[in-house]
């Protein structure tokens, strides 16, 4: 079997996933024990490289074309897939061993994903601010410029210290509290009790993002919530998915 190619964005943190969008298919590849290689692409180079391999673009809210990552290329089938969810569904359908969607749960997990992500929109500007800080110089400028345009404000206004930052922290804590209340309703280790699924990968990749981009003291603050349960969730899922960093 030829290794699959996952296109990802490098950072100054380490040579492994930092973005939750690229991490989700990466964790699935690891869980399914599928051989893959990563091609690292800086933000300004994404559009050109994706056009070269004929990957399908997405779109901005105004209708303009948007070339973004992750993208997966499978040399075994010739498939080129854009978007985390579509990549994960492709992997499940093409390589069904070690399923991540237990029987008839794909729709439920898709709905769960939407609801889970919506909780992280209120503090998103704080997380974008921290994400910009770990990017390499050639990507940082592009990332900041596009995000300032999207949010229609300067980066310094995203999450200034004081009431705005406090509100972002309050929103983060509320999001994690709600998620843990869902876990508390199951009898096993995972979101579906004793059955590991893509729902657990979704949560772990969000945690992985925060651990990569937040300052050490900020991550310790989250890791301390619920007596360290979130750090345990991340560690457990990483082990399941053979993620070593």
Structure tokens given for 109: 């997990």
pLDDT in tens, 113-172: 999 999 999 999 999 999 999 999 999 999 999 999 989 999 999 999 999 999 999 999
50: cis peptide before it, omega within 30°?
Answer: no
Average pLDDT, the chain: 94
pLDDT in tens, 25-56: 999 999 999 999 999 999 999 999 999 999 98
pLDDT at 61 over 70: no
Please enumerate in sequence order all residues whose Cβ is within 8 A of that of 104, keeping only pairs 6 or more positions apart, or say none: none
Q: Compute the distance between CA of residue 237 and CA of residue 106 in angstroms, rounded to an integer.
A: 19
Kindly report the CATH number that applies to the domain delimited by 4-94. Answer: 3.40.30.10
Q: What is the fold of 106-240?
A: Glutathione S-transferase Yfyf (Class Pi); Chain A, domain 2 (1.20.1050)
Q: What residue segments make up the domains of the chain, in order of their start?
A: 4-94, 106-240
The pTM assigned to this predicted structure is 0.94
């Amino acid at each position: 079997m030829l290794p699959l190619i996952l296109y990802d964005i490098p950072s100054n943190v380490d040579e492994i996933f930092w973005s939750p969008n690229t991490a989700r298919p990466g964790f699935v590849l690891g869980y399914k024990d599928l051989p893959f290689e990563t091609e690292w692409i800086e933000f300004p180079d994404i559009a050109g490289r994706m056009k070269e391999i004929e990957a399908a673009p997405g779109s901005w809210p105004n209708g303009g074309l948007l070339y973004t990552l992750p993208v997966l290329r499978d040399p075994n089938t010739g498939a080129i897939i854009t978007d985390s969810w579509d990549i994960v569904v492709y992997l499940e359908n093409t390589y069904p061993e070690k399923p991540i969607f237990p029987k008839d749960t794909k729709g439920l997990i898709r709905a769960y994903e939407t609801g889970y992500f919506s909780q992280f929109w209120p503090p998103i500007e704080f997380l974008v601010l921290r994400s910009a800080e770990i990017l390499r110089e050639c990507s940082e400028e592009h990332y900041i410029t596009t995000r300032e345009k999207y949010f229609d404000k300067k980066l310094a206004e995203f999450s200034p210290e004081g009431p705005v930052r406090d509100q972002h922290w309050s929103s983060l804590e509320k999001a994690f509290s709600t998620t843990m209340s869902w876990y508390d309703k199951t009898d096993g280790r995972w979101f579906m009790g004793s059955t590991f699924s893509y729902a657990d990968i979704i949560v772990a990749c969000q945690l992985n993002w925060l651990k990569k981009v937040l300052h050490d003291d900020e991550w310790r603050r989250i890791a301390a919530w619920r007596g360290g349960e979130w750090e345990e969730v991340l560690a457990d899922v990483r082990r399941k998915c053979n993620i070593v960093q």
